Amino acid sequence: MQLQRQLLTVVLGIGLSGCQGAGAQTESASPALAHSRVTRLDITSRGPAFGGRSFGAAGAYEILRGTATAIADPGARLNAGIVDLDKAPRNADGLVEYTFEVDILKPVDITRGNDVLVYEINNRGRNIVFGYFHEAGRGYAAGNAGSAFLMNRGYTYVSSGWLHGAPGAGDPRPVLASLPLATDDGRTITGTSMEEWQDPDSAAFGRLTYPAATLDEAAATLTHRQLQDDPRRTVPADRWRYVDDTTVAVTPPAGADAGTIYEFVYEARDPIVHGLGFAAMRDFVSFARYRAADDRGTPNPLFADGTPVLDHVVAVGSSQSGRMARDFVYQGFNEDPQGRRVFDGMTPYVAGARRTFVNARFAQTGRYTRQHEDHNYPMDEFPFTFGTTTDPLTGRTDGLLAACTASGTCPNIIQVDADSEYYGAHASLILTDTSGRALELPPNARYWMLGTAHLQGSAGCRDPGNPVQPWPYYRAAFDAMVQWVRDGVEPPATSAPSVADGTAVTVEEQGEQYPTIPDRPYNGTISELGVRDFSVWPPRESEERYPLFVPSLDADGNLVAGVVVPEVAAPLSTMGKAVRAAGFAEGDLCGVNGSTIPFPRTRNERMERGDSRRSLEERYPGGEAEYVRRYGEAADALVAERYLLPADAETLKESAAAAWRAAVGAR
């Protein structure tokens, strides 16, 4: 099936016609090997994990670290969409060769495991989901086992490099890739690139992703603006300069604060073939699943006596990595060169309706669009949802699963977002078409929206962040996914605000629902979105915008639909979107951490302040005992619906009394 793709003018076309079949046959080294594959795996260190501790039936674990070497054929059908791959250096066979780092955490005796491989699409080289699952450190030292969620269940875990970067140090080290530069027959490639900075005190301020092709300051433009929708103002030439070809020094204009947006457009050089990161993931997982040995005959450490033992592979990824998972499927990489499925299941977290700025010339892989920050980068373009729809603004028909549907290689997907993605990441477009009509997701996709936020700090925000940890719900989604792909057990249903039942509403309607809170009036700011034209930088955006919806609110200002966590079902505060404080571009949205506005403690306090929300003493006349009971009932209800694992529910219930005492204490 030939798909129509919207193309950035800075990228090549993406041909994603699929081939049939997702068989699970094992391959051996032979002349029939694909010209895009892992050719060698060098394990450079191997030793006990977690101090040699034993975990249930799986026993002791070991950590293997190494480097994979891979090749990619620029002429192969499945590589046709990798931007600038045809401009990368070739080896003697006419293939592009590159390397990436690999971490493998496995039972010492892999046959004692549960036959499921967990592949983490790492975030900037970091295995953050590993830390989320265990609520411990990200390394493999004795103190980092935490809850031992994966090990107690016998999983094998892998993370491999997809993001270009120099090898790093630490425990664990960042797991990165060494990807080639693109050239025009050996000549330097140049082109327009855009940088965005905030907060002059940050380490990244003034740093360029790509070297400047010229240090002629007249060839670049630097503007500033306070809020995202403010007009751009040129920074005078005497207030900025090139320090070198990768650094710009800026003297902030009068009136600028820590949230001021600086936008720098310049001529860059030496693009990296970042799209090879998709092939690196595809080809390593294919090797892990299907090949008994590398090209030299070195055994695959994930096989046992030359036989595969990992029957299913589930990908996990959060934030940048969740967006990467969505883009991986969309761009057709879940089909390996032999036409087999790569990932059986995926659980992307806090991705919203976005994809990535990875497979493009002068890509900036670490960017992600929000209402205030990085708003004008190309990663939230149609299609937004899993099923195929038609977009009236572009005239295109497409869907995230179109390519894998054509090749018969689609994974099952459970995407888990926080309510912040409705405000900052256009998440309502996952459950509506681009005309605003409600959609049913395909049978192999589920979407959960949590009544919480993704904890990433509250610097510059007006109110304290939402304190509810999302990790238990990430674990529940992963557990449901494994049961789905391994055992055929249907997962919990999609649970999110919906325009179909009125639990997703317009911003104007939400404003009418918002309670009266002294000093906290309603803020209707969301990240709006139109069709962007990336033939110019900064891009032009259409005046017509996509219809977006936000959660419907109850009388407390809390959401009424989605996976309603116990802290919302038995609330102590209003937990909503975060807004920037004075001195940080006041009024725009603040990151993805959410906010907490405590309830009044007593009726008298509420009346004196003019707060419309019931006080703690009014809503919980039985005091702590009543609160703990209601909290526990809410947790038990989520367990019954399988949005929360029983062990996590018990842990949460143990924390309820302390939360109550903190809420009624002195302020």
DSSP codes of every residue in 265-304: EEEEE--B-TTHHHHHHHHHHHHHHHBSB-TT-PBPTTEE
Is 79 in the same domain as 211? no
* Residue 195 β-bridge partners: 264
Q: Of 232, 248, 269, which marks where a domain is finished? A: 269
Domain boundary among 330, 345, 368: 368
pLDDT score at 459: 85
475 domain-assigned:
yes
- Tens digits of residue pLDDT in 500-524: 999 999 999 999 999 999 999 999 9
pLDDT at res. 169: 80
Q: Give me the amino acid identity at 76.
A: A
As a whole number of angstroms, the distance between CA 517 and CA 157 comes to 47
E-only strand ranges, 546-658: 550-551, 573-576, 595-598
In a domain, 385, yes or no: no
Nearest to 195 by CA among 185, 183, 182, 209: 209
pLDDT > 80? residue 129: yes
Residue 399 lies in a domain: no
The pLDDT assigned to 666 comes to 53
Proportion of the chain above pLDDT 70, given as a percent: 94
User: Tokens 């450490």 identify what position?
Assistant: 301
pLDDT at 12 > cutoff 70: no
Is 18 inside any structural domain? Answer: no
Q: Please tell me whether residues 281 and 322 are part of one structural domain.
A: yes
Quick one: 246 and 207 in the same domain?
A: yes
Average pLDDT over residues 13-37: 50
Same domain as 168, residue 241: no
Q: Does some domain include residue 125?
A: yes
Other Cβ atoms closer than 10 A to 542: 13
**Is residue 22's pLDDT more than 70?**
no
- Asked whether residue 629 is domain-assigned, the answer is yes
Q: Is 570 exposed, middle or buried (0-12, 13-18, 19+ CB in 10 A)?
A: buried
Residues 312 and 457 in one domain: no
609 & 642 share domain: yes
The model's confidence at residue 435, banded by pLDDT at 50, 70 and 90, is: very high
Last residue of a domain, one of 235, 269, 303: 269
Question: Sorting pLDDT into bands at 50, 70 and 90, what band is 456?
Answer: low
pLDDT digits (tens, 9 = 90+) for 573-615: 999 999 999 999 999 999 888 999 999 999 999 999 999 999 9
> Is the model's pLDDT at 7 over the cut of 50?
no
Mean pLDDT of the chain: 93
User: When comparing pLDDT for 666 and 463, which is higher?
Assistant: 463
Do 596 and 626 fall within a single domain?
yes
Q: Does 264 share its domain with 279? A: no
DSSP letters for 41-61: EEEEEEEESGGG-EEGGGEEE
**Per-residue confidence band for 2, with pLDDT thresholds at 50, 70 and 90:** very low
DSSP state of 164: B
Give yes or no: residues 639 and 651 share one domain.
yes
pLDDT, position 34? 84
Structural domain for 246, as ranges: 190-269
Least confident of 387-391, 464-468, 494-498, 527-531: 464-468
pLDDT score for 20: 31
Same domain, 218 and 281: no
Distance of CA 540 to the CA centre of its chain: 25
187-188 and 183-184: which strand pairing? antiparallel
Q: Looking at residue 10, what is its pLDDT?
A: 33
Domain count, the chain: 3
pLDDT at 50 over 50: yes
Distant-in-sequence contacts of 9-13, Cβ < 8 A, 24+ apart: 9/534, 9/535, 10/191, 10/192, 10/360, 10/361, 10/362, 10/534, 11/83, 11/359, 11/360, 11/361, 12/81, 12/83, 12/84, 13/80, 13/81
* Mean of pLDDT values over 33-42: 94
Per-residue pLDDT at 27: 54
Q: Could you list the beta-strand ranges (E) of 499-572.
A: 504-505, 530-533, 540-545, 550-551
Within this chain, do residues 608 and 625 fall inside the same structural domain, yes or no?
yes
How many CB atoms are closer than 10 A to CB 250?
Answer: 18
On whether residue 59 sits in a domain, the answer given is yes
Radius of gyration of the chain (CA): 25
**What's the pLDDT score for residue 33?**
80
Contact 129, 141 (CB under 8 A): no
pLDDT over 90, % of the chain: 91
Q: What digits encode the pLDDT tens for the residues 547-565? A: 999 999 999 999 999 999 9
Is residue 667's pLDDT more than 70? no
Query: For the chain, percent helix, then strand, then coil, each to nearest 5?
Result: 25, 25, 50
Residue 170 binned pLDDT confidence (cut-offs 50, 70, 90): confident
496 shares its domain with 609:
yes
Counted residue by residue, the chain has a size of: 667
29-38, 180-189, 214-223, 309-318, range with the lowest pLDDT: 29-38
Residue 25: per-residue pLDDT: 52
Q: How much is the pTM?
A: 0.94
Is residue 585 within 8 Å of residue 257, measured between CB atoms? yes
- To the nearest 10 degrees (0 to 180), the angle between helices 656-664 and 623-641 is 140
- The pLDDT value recorded for residue 455 is 65
Strand residue runs (E) in 56-137? 59-72, 96-107, 116-120
- In this model, does residue 311 exceed pLDDT 60? yes
Q: What is the mean pLDDT of residues 121-145?
A: 94
Please indicate, yes or no, if residue 610 is contained in any of the structural domains: yes
